[in-house]
Each structure stands twice: as C-alpha cells, then as structure tokens.
Structure 1
Amino acid sequence: MSAWGPPPVVGRSGHPHAGTRRTASGDTPKSASGLTGRDPELAEIDRLLGEVRHGRPAALLLTGEAGVGKTALLRAARSRAGDVRCLTASGIESESAMAHAGLLELLTPLRPLLPEVPDGQAAALASALGWAPTDAPADRFLVAAGTLSLLAAAAAEEPVLVLVDDLQWLDRESAGAIVFAARRLGADAVRFLMNARTDPATPAPDLARGLPTLDVRALESSDAAALVATTVSPAVAGLLAAATGGNPLALVEVSAHLTPAQRVGAAALPDPLPVGDRLHTVYDDVLSRLTAEARHAVLLVALSRTGARVLAEAGALDEAVSAGVLAAEPQGHRFQHPLLRAAVLRLATPEEQRRAHRSLAAALPRGASGRAHHLAAASTGPDDALADELDRVAAGDRVRLGYAASSLALERAAALTTHPAAASARLAAAADDAFVAGDVIRARRLVERVLGSASASEPACGRALLTLGMVEQYAGSNPRAAEHLRTASLTLTGAALVDALTELALVRFRLGDLAGFEDCAARIRGAVDRSDPAQRLRECFTTGVTSALAGDYPAARPMLLEVAELALSDALEDDPRSILLLALASGFTGTVAEALARGAVRVERVRRRGAIGMLVPILAISASGRSMLGDHAGAYADAGEAAELAEHLGYVAEAAIACEHLAWESAARGLHEEARSALARARTLLDRAETTSAAAHHALTVAFCALCRGDMTEVVDVLEARLETDGGVGAMGEALGVAPLLVEAYVSLGRVAQAEDLAHRLASATPVHAPAELTAMVLRCQGLVARDEAAARRAFDDALRAHATSQDLFERARTRLMLGSRLRRDGRRVEAREHLQAAHRSFTDMELSHWAGRAAAELRATGAVVRPRNELLDGDEPLTSQETRVALLVAEGRTNKDVAAALFLSPKTVERHLGNVFRKRGFRSRAELVRAYAQLD
C-alpha cells in the first residue's frame, strides 16, 4: 500500500541526528515549506488549490521514479488544503485486480450523498461498492458516471480535492472511474491530484493519457546536499548528492545507514550505493531487525491490508510501527513507503508467502472471491477443484462487470487446471475479459500465451485470435485485425464463426476490400444456422450489403429490411451489435428515419446501462443518419459525444469517423479552425488504424471542409487523388462517389470540360435503380455543367424531384442554392429568390450558419431583403457540440440532473453549457428553448 505519511525513518544509535524524521522528498527542519527543493511543484499545487476554491476544476498527474517524492507532495497538498475537503485512494499492487477496491476507499466518506446521484448510477455504484443488496450490474461506465455525480454532489457543499497515490497500482475499474470523472467534471469545485510511478518496470497507466502531467525530477545537487546536511558532513553530502543522482529517498535512506566513519568522510562510501533499482537493498537491514512475528505481520499487511488487522498480533504490528516500517491508521496499517512493501514480498520465502495466503484464506468465508485467490496463491500444484471455484468467481465478477478481476481469476484457474484443452480455454476467456476491461496489453499477452502453447485446443486458439482481431480492430491496425480474424475464421465453427466473419467483413469494407466483403458474406451463407436470429441477422446484413455494393438494389432491399426486423426483435434486445448493423443497413435502404425512430429505445437502453464502448460506434453512425435527415443539431451532438467518449476509450477507427462528422458539422457552421483540428485528429487516428489510403469518407470530409472555406483547389487535389487511388469510390462504396463535389469544384475553377466529362461518367456509372439520393446527385451535376439555360433548368428541376423522394435535406437545400444562383446569373431574379429563400430557410432550420450565410448573400444579390429568423449567419457564434447536446435534451423536458446523467457530466457543467445556449440564442427561459427546438422537429 502506498499511502499517506512519511517513509520509514531508521536512526542509528550513537549518531547525533539519529531518529530525526525526514520524508523521502526532503522534509527537513531547514525547509520553510517542509520539502527541500520542491518550491516549483508546491507552487503548482498551490495554484491547483486556489483554482478549486474558485470552482474551476482540473487534474494534475505527478510522475517520476520511485523515491523521488511524489507521495510526499500529495501529503503536502493535503496539509495545505485548508478548508478544502480531501478524499484519498491508494493503489496496492496485490489488490490491483480487486475491482472497485480503490473506489471504495475514496468514496466511502461520501456515502451519505448517494441519494443525490441519478438512480441508475446510484444502483450501479452501490452494487460495485457493496453499499446495498442489489442485483443491479456494476457496469463500469455507470459506476464511472456515478463517481462523477457523487463527487459533484460533494462539491456542491464544499470544494473537494481528490488525492490518488500510486495510480499505476489502483485496480483498473477504480482508476478508470476516477480518471473519467477527472476528464469530465467541467464546472464543479473538484480537483484531482494523482501520482504514478514511471520507470522501465512500471510504465505510466495508459488510461491517464492526456491528463496534465508534472514530472517530479530528482533534486538539484545543492538541494540534494542540503537534504542530508544534518546527517553527514558537507563533503560527504556532496558525494552522496552526486552518487545518488539527487533521488531523495536514496539520499535519506542511504545516509541513515552509513557508519559513523562514512558519515564524516573518514571511510569510503559503500560501492555501489543502493540507488534506483538498488533501493531495495536499503530495506534489507530494516526488515532483518524485525522479529519473526513482526515480519509475518508486515507480510500479512503486504498481502491484505484488512486481513492483517484480524490475523496479526497487535504486538507484532506495534513493533513494525516503532521500526518505521508501518504506520497505524483507523482503517488499518499501511507501509511508510511502497518500496518497503516490495522489499517485504521480495525477502519473504515462497513458503512464508504461501503460509500467509493460507491464513488469509482461512479467515474468509466460503464463496468469497478473495478466499479463492489466496488459496490459489498458496497452491503448489494443479488443483482442478480450486480451478473450478476460481472459474465460478470469474463468472460472478463478469456479471458485475469486474472484467479485470474476472480475467485474473481465469488466468489463475488456467494455471491450476490439469487438462490442457480446458486450461487453454480458460486462458482464452481471460484474454477476452481483459479486452472487455480495456486492458489491451494484458489481452495481447494472454493471447500470445494461448497461441504459443503446443497443447492449446483449436477452439481456444480460434477464440484467442478473434479477441486479438477485435483488439486490433478497435484500438490498433485494421490490416492486422483482418489477418487475425481471417485466421480465426478458419478454426471456429457455429455462431463464433459467423461473428468472426461478420467482423472480418466490416474490417475489409473499412479497408476498401469489397471483394473480401463479398467472400465473407458467401462463407456466412454456407455456415449460418438460420434458426438463430443473431446469425440470420448477420447473414442478411452481409448478403444485402454485397448486393448493394454491386448495384443490385432490388435484391439488397429485402435482405436489409429483414435486418431491421431482426435487430428490433425481442430475441436480440440484449445484443447492442445488432443496432450497429441496423444503422448501417438503413443507409443502403433509405430507411434512416425509421431506423432512428425505432432504434431510439434500444439506443437509450444502451446509454442507461452505461455500455459506452458500444455507444461510440452507435453514436458515430447515428450522426451520419441524423445528418442525412437534416437533423444537424442532433448530428453535431452525437458526433461530439462519440468523439469524446472514443478518446476516453482509446478507440481508433470509430473515433476517426466521429471526428470526421464533427469536422463536417463544424465547417458547415463556419467553425473552420475547429474543423481543421477535428480533421487532424481523424487523420492521426486513421494512420494508427492503417486505413488512411482506403478512407474515402475522410477524403470527402476534407474536401467538404475545403469547399466551406472556398478553397476549390484543395477540393480538386484531394478528390483527384482518390480517383487515382480507387477510381473515386464513395464512402458507402458507390461508384464515383467523389464526383458531385469534384464537379462543383471544377465548375468553380472554370475547368468546364473536366466537369462535363466527370458528370457524364457519373451518369454512366450510376445504376438505374439507384437510391434517390444518388440519382439527385447525378442530375445536379448535369445541371451544373449544362451550358444552355433551359437544359440546366430541366436538370435541376429533375434533381429536385428526385430529392423530394429522398431524405437528405442538406443536399436538397444545396441543390436549391445552386439553382437559385444559376437563375440569378441568368437574370431571372424573381424565380431565383423562391429557391434561395427555401434554401435559406432550410439551412437556418438545420443551424448550418455558414450555408445560411451563403444563401443570404445570394438573396441580397437578387435585391431581396433578408429578414432575420433568429438565425445564425456565417461569422456569428454557433453552439458547440456539447452545448447542442445539452440544448436538445433540455428541449425534451429533462432536468439538469437528468441531462447530466445522460451525458456523464455534472449538473453544474450542464448549467454552464445551458447558460451559453441562452446567451448565444437569446433565450430568456427554458420554455423559449423548448419552443425553438420543437420547431426543428
């Protein structure tokens, strides 16, 4: 346990300064601040404390090597906090797989505030922390949201400082919840000060990426010498400062263990000194002086903080406290420094550790998960009965969504299992649970163990490869994902095979391998059990999409419509993946509106249950569907939320798509810098996923953003490159999907011949029975390139008739804008105004201020007066994505607390966003906001 308080103090009798207490970070009587050489770090901590008193939240992660003084800085922050309420949590390595242990320590003081937390979050939190007998699943994101809400409730009463020691050893569920809250508490008086050890053996926690970080470095030579000046002579102090590299713990501990002759420089210093990894040797002497009873007591503390209090003799614990090894606290004993605990475990013999684990297991009731883990640690050989018990423990953890603990239990069960096939199956299941928990590194390691075992069964290898393929698909390289999923599909059978082939088909589509997609569909047709709704849905989806990609829309439509019926059936109500396939299928059938309406209940169910991992791709696809329907406020909201959540999860491909939607919506509102930033992030993510060359959707978004800026040269450069890459296939695989934007850019640049040629090629490549959206684009291109006024008018009129049977309101408005502009240039101003006014109304209703401004400018050029309709014109201040999300939910009649629960924000953050909505839109009441957004429907 790395906890609060000074590290061990070891004085030598006979030395004038023996017994002087100093912290490893350099606490000496000479230091006014209490910490030698830490004024810059303390200034940053004081700034953070000042911010929390003014209700401006933030987080700071202290990083550095062992012994550099991170814990002492947290203790200093606590002592300087004054009237700020401090909540603490500490990581302990052996308990890192015990789900929610750190969260229990942190939040227990706030338990009386649980009624302030939204019901679903409160139930999940109570379930996770054992506060109430409930069957509610402790979903990790509902728990994280509940943590956020509980901290926000505490901050409503007084400022709060959250102190987390040794984040790298905190259980993943607790660490994830705390970091989630740190990222999202936007307007509450909560500050987070955390530390994490960073060295080659202990990398910084991956979930903390992106948090503001302060690297706590070794002391400067003068400060290092000052730290030990009262213990050794000045000359020796200088030698020690140089020899230890300024590591405070090494300085304090080594100086305290020098002989009298060494302290005054009469004898040479030990060579080598115990520095860095050698700090362990400092503790050997400390621990060797303890009696056998005290050593057993500290070993019990090292293995179980709470169990030690029950089993260890009080006298033995007191001895360890007197020796400076332990510190007594109301909730139990802790080590004065984490390296002491590491030394205890290193010095204990295997038999001593097994004896301690057996004692701890005996003190726990049957059925307790900790009992099985202690028995496993005490085991000396295979034990199938214990393996089965651990398997049952894992199943219980999985129901409560303690996937990290479940994975560890399964890994231990595998080690105790005598039958190789069963052992490999458990190891593969452990890898799958590790992936669900978000522990990509652990999942990869477990998969490698399965695949590297000569005795692993084929089904276990297939499952391991499927897990590895999913890891790569969501958080790595899509080409590697395709290879792993392909190999898995050669081993698996039944429903697992259909799942693997469906995932492989989606990866191949993302890579632009349409023939590979068709091959997966054919293999699914040969393996599917049509009596299983989940398998039948996947067959209909892949077969229907294959037909659509081939241009055979009459054959595709019935298959894809069946996807909707299956996805929304009672049999698949707990299968969030089916909602994703439904959303994708609706884009091919032109039933986006129906899919959004009928799937809304299921999506809300996903949100309420906190299944955020599935919510990200659902929101990204929903953003596309809402955009097509003209609900750009909803699309902007969904895209922004998906992008934020994807960043938190470390997603790659889905995150890129969400960022592209965010860029599109930003550009259409004239927020060009925001669009550039989102596009840059999307490109980085696509590069990581290795799908950049195949990402037609990215190129089209880049071109659209350039179009909004008026940079037609970039539009041409980007889309001509796509023509050379794959013939200009569109985002949904449609032939020459880049043509509509490219024709528009050619015409704008006066490259009429190229525009005419491309428009003709688009007409030839588009099937007769293509969806109305594609037909409208073909006709609009013909209108743009027509040199004769009558021919242009006919083409545009035909395009508008096609738009009338499609759902894409934005492109319909853009066609009206183009027709109105053409009529104005041809001198037909009265007719032009009709179309330009319609376009202006549509863009305004969709809150696309840039395009509303373009339409208004064209209207003024006809001599018309543009009357304000509470619209935002290009250059005004549009709502942000998060402000839009808040406005939409408030317009549904939800309270701030309800909105906060839905968006995983605090009520105070919602209040701040709502204030911005009122200011930017000129609303004076919630009723005005409701009326304004009701008009959009």
Structure 2
Amino acid sequence: MQLFGRQHEREIIERVLAEAQAGRCGVLFARGEAGIGKTALLDYAGAVADPLGFRVVRAVGMESERQFAYAALHQLCAPLLKYDAALAEPQRDALATAFGRKTGPPPDRFLVGLAMLNLLAESAEERPLLCLVDDAQWLDRASAEVIAFAARRAHAERLVILVAARDTDDSEAAPFAGLPALTLPGLGDSDARALLAAEIRMPIDDALRDRVIAEAHGNPLALLELPRNSRPEILASGLDAHERPSVTRRMEEAFRHRSAELPAETQRLLLVAAAEPTGEVALLFRAASHLGIPRSAAAPAENVGLFRIDSLVRFRHPLVRSAIYAAATPSERRRAHEALAAAGDARVDPDRRAWHRGQAVLGPDADVADELERAGHRALARGGMAAAAAFVQRAAELTPEPALRTQRATLAAQAKYEAGAADEALTLLALAAQGPLSPFEAARLTLFRAHITFYLAQGSELPSEFLDAARALAPVEPRMAREAFLFALNAALIAGGDVRGVAEAALAAPPAPDPPRPLDLLLDGLVSVYTDGYAAGVSVLREALISFCDEEVDRDIVGHTDSDRWLWLANRTALALFDDDLMRDLAVRNVALTREAGAVATLRAALVSHSVALALSGDFSGAGELAAEAAAIARATGAAPLPYGDLILASWRGRAAETTALHRESIRGKEEGRGAEVTLAHYALAVLHNATGEFLPAMTAAQRAAESDELAVVSLALPELVEAAARAGRLEEARAAADELCVRAQASGTRWARGLASRARALIAQDRAAEEHYRDAIEQLTGSRAAGHLARTHLLYGEWLRREGRRRDAREQLRTAHDMLTDMGAAGFAERAANELRATGEHPRARTSAPGVVLTEQELHIARLVATGATSREVAATLFLSPRTIEAHLRSIFRKLGISSRRDLKELQL
C-alpha cells in the first residue's frame, strides 16, 4: 500500500516486525490527533507483515460499544481460540467466563490477561503474530486493561502488538501509558502536497492549495476532506476566505455537510449504522426494514465515500460515525435505537438489545429498566465492572419506583467504584441518597461513601466518616457495624488520625457474634491495646491471628471471603506482637490464597507482606524476589506501587541512595504526618543510619517512627531507637525506649521480643551486667526467625567487648556477625563489622559470593522455582509471564551460572 511520508514510522514498524521474527516481542503505542493516519499506519504494518508469514488479528474500539465488557478483546482473540486447549485450566475458565461461554464467578481481570498472553504466545509458536488495536481510546475498560497487561508481559514471543489511540484527555487510553510510544506528527509540506495531488483530481487554485495545506497542519484526513467538501468553482478560483474553525471540527462539519446532501432515507440508514457499532450487515438491514428503509438507500452514501458495506458496515473514519450521530435530533436517535432493539435477537445478544432499548425510551420505563439490570448482572458475572455500571446506571435512571431506583443507583455506584471510576461512583451515590432510604440503606450508603472518599483522599478526617456509618449500622446490622469500626481504626492508622479517639468510639460497637469471626477478635484486641495499653490486647490479638490462619476458606460468588481485606492488617499485627511464626504463616497463607483465587490486585499487597517477613528474617534474596514480583504486578495493572517492602529491604541492605530516595518519595508533602507510610519511611532511615554508624541521625529518624500509632512501626522502631540513642550517648532517651520495648516483650513472650529486650538492657547497662544480657539476647534470637537482629546482636556484643579491651573475645563475635551479615547481603552492617574487626587488628576474610549474586532477583526467583521441579508453564502461571519468556530467562540463567540443565539448578541449592 502507498503511505505518503512516515519514513521514520515505517522503519520502526519494519524493525519490530523483523525482531519479532527472531523471537523478540515488539510493542508500540501510536498516538495522534484524529485523521493523522494512525489507521493507515496499522494497515501498513498488516501489509508488510502478511508476506513475512505473520498471522494478523485486529480489534477496533467503538465509542458506543464501551459498555460491553471484553467486546474488543473478543474481536482480537476470536481467531485464536482454537489454541485455548493449551492454557492452564484456571486461565481457560477465566477467558471462557469473560467471553460468556461459561458461567461462574467473575474472573480476575489479570487472570484473563494471563490467559490472553498465553493464547497469543501459543499462536506465535506456530507462526509470528501481529495484533493491531485501533481507536484504543474507545476500548471497553476491561479489554484495554487486559491488552495492556499482555503488552507489558510479553518478551520472548514472535509477537508484535500495535495499539493506536487518539490524543485526548480521556482517561480511557490510560491503561497503555508507559508502553513504547510512537507519536505521529503531521506530514511535512512536500508529503502533504504529494498526497493532495495524488488524491484530489480536480483543479485547485494555488492560493487555496497553500491555505488547505497550512490549515490542515499535515493532517492527512483534513488534507483530503477539506477540498472534497468545496464546490469545484471554489476549488478552481479560491474564492472562499471566511474564518475557519479547528481541523477536527471542520472535518466533522464536512462529514455532516456531505451526509446532509444525501436522500432522507440514506441519512436515516446512516444514523442506524452509526448507532450500532458491531457493523453487522444483517442487523443493519433488519433495523432499516423496521423503519421502512430499502437496502438501495445505502448506495448514495457508498458513492460519496462515507461508508462501505462488505462483510461488515465500515465508516470511512470514526469522525463520520460521531458526526452523523451528533447531528441527529434526540427523537431521531431514539427511533434508530428502537429499530435496532426490534431487529436484535434477545436469545443471541440480550445485552445489546437491552442497551438499545435503554437508549430508545423517553422517560421512566420499568420493563426496560428490569432488562437493563439483568444485562448488568450478566456483565458482572463476566467480570465487566465498567459494563455492569453502565447498564445498571441506565436502569436506575429509567426506574420509576423510588426505592428500587435507590437500590440500582447504589449497585451502579459499587460497580463504578470497582471499575476504578470513584468520582462517578460518588455522583451515583448522590442519586441513591435521594431515597427513600431505610435506616440500613442510609447507613450502608454512608459506609460506602467513606470507602470511596478514603480511596480518593486518605485524609486524617476520614475515620469519622467510617464511625458515622458504624454508629448508624449498629442497631440495624451489628456484624457490618463491627466491620465499619475496624475500617475506621485501620483508616486512622494508615492516615495518621486520632487512633485512640477512634478506639474509644469503637468501645460502643455491638458485641461480637458467637462464635466471633477473626475480624471481630482483631477489632476487640486493637481496641484494648489503644484504650488500655499494649499488654491488655496481646492475648486477644494472638487469638485473632491464629483464627485467621485456621479459617476455612469459603468464597462467595464474587470470589471473596470476609477476611480477605483484613489479612494485610493481620500481618502488620503479627509484626507488632513480634510473633515471627504467625507473621510468616499469615504471609504465606495470604499469598497462597490470592494466587489460588487469581486475585492479582490483592496478590500485590500479599507479596509485599511476605517480602517484609522474609527481609526481617534475613532472607534478602527471597524478599527481593517477592518485592520484584509485586512491582511487576503494579506495572502491569497500572496500580500505585507499595513501597514498604522496598524500603525495608533497601535499608537493611545498606543501600543509601535507594533508601533516601524512597524515604523522600514517601514523606513528600507529608513531612509532619504520622501515617503508616511516613513513619515506616523514618524507620527505614533509622536502620540505614545505624548500619553506617551515624547514630544521631538514626536516633532522630527512629524517634519520629516511634511516634506512630501504628503498632507494627513502633515495634520495629524501638530497637533502632535504643541502639542509636545508646551509641550516641543519649542514655535517657535510650532507657525510655528500652523500658517500652521491655513492656512489649513481656506481654508478647516470643523469643524474638525477649531477645530484643535483652539486647536493649545490654545497650543501656553501665557495668559488666551487659555481657549477661548480650548472651541472653543471642540465645533468645537464635531460637527465632529474626536472623538479621541476631547478626546485629553479635555485632553489638563484639563492639562492646572491643571497648572493654577484650580483643580476642571481640573477634569471635565480630567474625560471626561479619559472616552472617555478608551472607544475607546486609552490606552496611557488614562493613561496620569489618571496620570493628580491623580495629581489633584482624583483617576480615573475603567471602565467596553465592551463585545467586550474578542473577537478577527475577532470574533468581525463576531459578529457585525451576529447581523445585516446576515446569516452565507452571512458573509462567505463578509469575504472570508466558512460558516462552520463562525459557528465555532460563537460557540467561544457564549462561550466567555456567550450567546446561534444570538438573544442574537443583544441585546448586540456590
């Protein structure tokens, strides 16, 4: 095909196609204004790919089809479904449910994404594959997120994904942000003139030609459409000099003008076609027949190039469709939708028929509203939250009965919120609040509004909104009221609100049911801690955590349990209790449950919790692997990163630049805050400064962390504060922190807590009693999972022995500390131990690097999984990659380690 200009863009496309043939996936996100030539560029890619042996599949976003979940994804994947037998069963089921071929709980969107990724990979194994996605700004949200997920995760496949979207402020193109971009500028002057000369055969006045080229700004569609909509005598003479609006608006006006000159029945046929985005020819003509429009009415529109009819109805450009639909009167649009609803088959596509009926009615209509709600529930069952929201919102608008309208508006708001449209959800809640509302419905709306506001703002005033909901729910729904109180407490902890005030308010919560749920025990334990002191709540909190570990999993229709949302808080609480066994068990359970459910968004937080548990146990490699996986999920899903795992890991590893950068980002705009993220950042800075021996800055950071109301952060910060203050000579501050730590240790009773308490006593001791405390600390910590603190205790004991003049004894402790800290990768503390060894007159021995050092954290994670006997397909499913990408990583791993087989990996004991 002939493509004027675009030399740079053509070279890029040809290069990514060539690289894909060699097994390196290519992804491009092309952006530009309407008419700039994005579709032509995709057509060029298809034309080049075909003789190279590529299979080409396409999807096109349509503005009026955005409410149909996975509609665009089905376009893209339909030709490839013969490969679904190769998918793992959860993936195959997720894809079948998304496409409505199977009933079941709504599939996790990113499990659908993994299914699509592997479907593309399976096809690409047979022959190279080119996926073309046009008008991405109009894709349904579910399809956009899944396609973007696959584009970010494809690496070693013979695959190219080209996505094109119009430049717009519309957030619908947001899922593709961050993909390799290709911005299309206007054509240069010479290319614009060549295009105009080739396509416009009528004589054009030179001055008018210059003006058209100048006004079009290199936009190919504008270059062609502007002169085509001028009379021949104007083209020849140039006598048309009135002021011109914008190029896009002029093109739409040109299309409207061209359609307005057509026969009335042709205009009506065009409107019906514009109102039905599927392009199904038979449906168009059935609807036309309903309106008394003959098939011959299509010919005039085809003759002037507004659309063509072959296997599908195809408009010349999306602007033609939008211009025709926008130019119609509301009554004309309703008649078109009414005809399409009458022509549709309720058995084959009930959702589309319902949508057209919803657009056809004027004013409330109970029957149509019922049909739209049923369509919304079907969309929800497929995991199409945005589609469900659109259907149920329209159902609410058409519902005449006030109470049912409120119910539907609430359901639509929930779907909007789940789909990520929190602002729109608040608008729908305002509609729902118009009532009438029962006391329960009013309280539930208040709770839901608090959730949305917390999601949007996370301000310190938000716990009061949860408290208002909890108080309102208490007399009508006690179980939900207790959960609302726990939401309020958690919001205060995260945002840095009045935690004690919220806990005191929660004393008025209804009694727990019999038997109590894990979340009921968690609420009661936290309330006891914040109203009566740490020791008062420990036993109930431990009972709650054990209940979370032992809870039977019974997921509801949407795949949730009551405790899913609280496992993150349960993990933090285990850390607050210094219970390393429960912390590990809860973290492992959380990851296992979320993996099993395919709940990728929840999995990210679960991985971070497990990463923190591993970091505090001294397994930095394992912690890094999980943190890397969580970060990869955040990138793939477009979610905000959770910095907690990275912060703790970077600080313990002694990575100054990374820790300070993460600290700066975490406290930006919140320097005086006491929320969990800010105070945890101060804790990380305290660890870093203690590692490098900068004890006064470490003390300052630890003090700020210890001011937190978050139990876990304080438990982490107190040992850092004792060490920093004692080593800085600030014994008063050290004693106060040690006293608080000892109170917590006595209440907790774990070996981890008792070991830290003994170490704190040793640091503040002024006599030979320090040695007894150090030895007890080492004994206690040896029986715990806190390997990092054990190594640091050997270091502190060795430093004390050296200051006491006992060099030989000091060397033994310092060697142990240096070896342990080096092996786990705590570079800052290891260097501190090395310096102390040198001060005793001994040069620290060089440590042999473990095999995993030469691997990236992702490669190490893959290597360890493969070493357990997992297949490439199983590893791919775990890490949300394709099997071919896993094989590519394995080749790199084998090369780096100098091995040649999976059996060799097992023998390395990574």
TM-score w.r.t. length of structure 2? 0.87
| C-alpha separation in 2, matches of 1:268 and 1:47 | 45
Q: SS of the residue aligned with 2:870?
A: coil
**Equivalent residues of 1:250, 1:279 under 8 A apart:** yes
Contact map agreement 1:61 1:212 (CA 8 A) in 2: yes
Q: Which amino acid aligns with 1:196?
A: A
Does the alignment pair 1:699 with 2:676? no
- Relative distance call for 1:705 and 1:916 in structure 2 (3 A) is farther
Greater Cα offset, 614-623 or 907-916:
907-916
Q: Distance in 1 between matches of 2:190 and 2:613?
A: 64
1:508 aligns with one of 470, 484, 492: 492
CA contact (8 A) 1:361 1:375 kept: yes
Contact 1:696 1:730 in 2 (8 A): no
Q: Distance in 2 between matches of 1:347 and 1:922?
A: 69
Could you tell me which of 304, 327, 330 is aligned with 1:323?
Answer: 304
Q: Structure 2 vs 1, CA of residues 787 and 192 (structure 1 numbering), >3 Å: closer, same or farther?
A: farther
Q: How does 1:281-320 map to 2 (within 5 A)?
A: 281-306=253-278, 308-313=280-285, 315-317=296-298, 319-320=300-301
Letter in 1 for 2:107: A
The within-5 A match list for 1:382-781 is 382-450=364-432, 453=434, 462-474=443-455, 476-479=457-460, 481-482=462-463, 484-492=465-473, 493-494=476-477, 495-512=479-496, 513-519=498-504, 521-523=506-508, 526-528=509-511, 530-531=513-514, 536-549=517-530, 551-553=533-535, 555-565=537-547, 568-570=550-552, 574-575=560-561, 576-594=564-582, 596-597=584-585, 600=588, 603-652=591-640, 655-656=641-642, 659-669=643-653, 675=659, 679=663, 682=666, 695-708=678-691, 710=692, 712-713=693-694, 716-717=696-697, 720=700, 723=703, 728-729=707-708, 732=711, 738-742=717-721, 744-745=723-724, 751-752=728-729, 754=730, 756-768=731-743, 769-771=746-748, 772=750, 773-781=752-760
Q: Name the structure 2 match of 1:19.
A: none
Partners in 2 of 1:924 and 1:802 — Cα distance? 43
Aligned equivalent of 2:205: 233
- Over 3 Å counting, the alpha-carbon distance change for 1:163 and 1:308 in structure 2 is closer
Match of 2:73 among 84, 103, 108: 103
In the alignment, is the contact (CA less than 8 A) between 1:431 and 1:442 conserved in 2? Answer: yes
| CA displacement 1:552-595 (0-9 Å, x = unmatched) | 33542234313432563236554122433442333244444346
Change (3 A) 1:683 1:300: farther
Residue number among 308, 330, 337 corresponding to 2:317 in the alignment: 337
1:506, distance to aligned residue in structure 2 (A): 0.9
Task: Name the counterpart of 1:24.
Answer: none
| Pairwise CA distance, 1:252 | 1.8
1:835 alignment partner, one of 810, 813, 821: 813
- In structure 1, what is the equivalent of residue 288 of structure 2? none
What residue is the counterpart of 2:23 in the other structure?
A: 55
Q: Kindly indicate whether the alpha-carbon contact (under 8 Å) linking 1:62 and 1:216 is maintained by their aligned counterparts in 2.
A: yes
SS at match of 1:766: helix
Q: CA deviation at 1:148?
A: 1.2
Q: Distance in 2 between matches of 1:151 and 1:690?
A: 47
Contact 2:683 2:701 in 1 (8 A): no
The more displaced of 275-284 and 100-109 is 275-284
1:244–1:273: 8 Å Cα contact kept in structure 2?
Answer: no
Closer, same or farther: CA 911–474 of 1 in aligned 2, 3 Å: farther
Alignment check: 8 A CA contact 2:139 2:172 kept:
no
> Structure 2 CA distance, aligned partners of 1:637 and 1:475?
30
Q: Does 1:365 align with 2:340?
A: no
Paired with 1:846 and 1:475, the residues of 2 have a C-alpha distance of 39
Q: For residues 369-426 of structure 1, what are the alpha-carbon distances to aligned partners after superposition, in whole Å with 9 as ceiling and x for unaligned? A: 2222222111222122332332233223222222111111110110111122321221
Secondary structure, in 3 states, of the residue corresponding to 1:60? Answer: strand
The offset of 1:431, in angstroms, is: 1.5
Q: Say if 1:911 and 1:670 are closer, same or farther in 2 by CA, change over 3 A.
A: farther
Question: What CA distance in whole angstroms lies between the structure 1 residues aligned with 2:152 and 2:10?
Answer: 23
Q: TM-score, normalised by structure 1?
A: 0.84
Q: Are residues 739 and 128 of structure 1, via their aligned partners in 2, closer, same or farther at CA, if it must alter by over 3 Å?
A: closer
Question: 1:502 and 1:283, CA in 2 relative to 1: closer, same or farther beyond 3 A?
Answer: same
- Name the aligned partner's letter for residue 325 of structure 1: L
C-alpha distance in 1 between matches for 2:582 and 2:891: 33
Moved more, 89-98 or 295-304: 295-304
Cα deviations by residue, 1:254-290 (Å, 9 ceiling, x for unpaired): 1111122322344123433562334321111222244
Q: C-alpha separation between the residues in 2 aligned to 1:283 and 1:842?
A: 74
Deviation at 1:104, TM superposition (A): 0.8
The answer on 1:818 being equivalent to 2:801 is no
Q: C-alpha displacement at 1:170, in angstroms?
A: 0.6
Distance 1:462 1:826, change over 3 A: same
For residue 128 of structure 2, the aligned residue among 159, 172, 181 is: 159
Question: Does the CA contact (< 8 Å) of 1:167 and 1:194 recur in 2?
Answer: yes
1: CA distance, partners of 2:310 / 2:865: 46
How big is the shift at 1:295? 3.5
Partner residue in 1 for 2:359 = 377
1:347-390 Cα deviation digits (max 9, x unpaired): 33333333332333232125822222222111222122332332
| Aligned mates of 1:626, 1:431 — CA distance in 2 | 39
Which residue of the other structure, out of 235, 242, 254, is the alignment partner of 1:263?
235
Structure 1 residue 932: deviation in Å?
Answer: 5.0
Structure 2 CA distance for aligned equivalents of residues 432 and 404 of structure 1: 10
**Distance change in 2, residues 1:484/1:608 (3 Å):** same
Deviation at 1:761, TM superposition (A): 1.7
Q: Offset of 1:677 from its aligned partner? A: 5.7
> Structure 2: how far apart are the matches of 1:740 and 1:70?
59
Q: Percent of aligned pairs with the same residue?
A: 31
Structure 1 residues 462, 172: CA separation in 2 closer, same or farther (over 3 Å shift)?
farther
Take 2:705 and 2:770, find their aligned partners in 1: how far apart are those partners? Answer: 30
Q: Please say if residues 358 and 368 of structure 2, whose CA atoms lie closer than 8 Å, have aligned partners that are also in contact.
A: yes
Q: Say yes or no: does 1:211 pair with 2:196.
A: no
Is 2:47 aligned against 1:73?
Answer: no
Alignment correspondent of 1:22? none
SS at match of 1:87: strand
Q: Could you tell me whether the CA contact under 8 Å between 2:355 and 2:372 is conserved in 1?
A: yes
Equivalent residue for 2:787? 809
Contact 2:406 2:435 in 1 (8 A): no
Encode CA deviations 1:151-173: one digit per residue, 9 max, x unaligned. Answer: 22223333333221111111111
CA drift of 1:863 comes to 4.3
Give the conservation status (yes or no) of the 8 Å contact 1:428–1:461.
no
Q: Deviations over 1:489-518 (max 9, x none)?
A: 454452443333222211101123321441
Q: How does 1:170-249 map to 2 (within 5 A)?
A: 170-199=139-168, 202-203=170-171, 205-220=173-188, 223-225=191-193, 227-229=195-197, 231=200, 232-249=204-221
Check whether the contact 2:722–2:737 (CA below 8 A) recurs between aligned residues: no
Going from structure 1 to structure 2, the CA distance change for 1:386 and 1:736 (only over 3 Å counts) comes to closer
For structure 2, list consecutive stretches of 5 or more residues without a partner in the other structure: 286-294
Q: Do the aligned partners of residues 569 and 780 (structure 1) sit closer, same or farther apart at CA in structure 2, a change above 3 Å counting? A: closer
Letter in 1 for 2:98: A
Is 2:890 aligned against 1:890?
no
Matched positions, count: 877
Greater mean alpha carbon deviation, residues 259-268 or residues 179-188 = 259-268
| 1:597-644 deviation digits (Å, cap 9, x = unpaired) | 477456423213321222222222222223334443332222222233
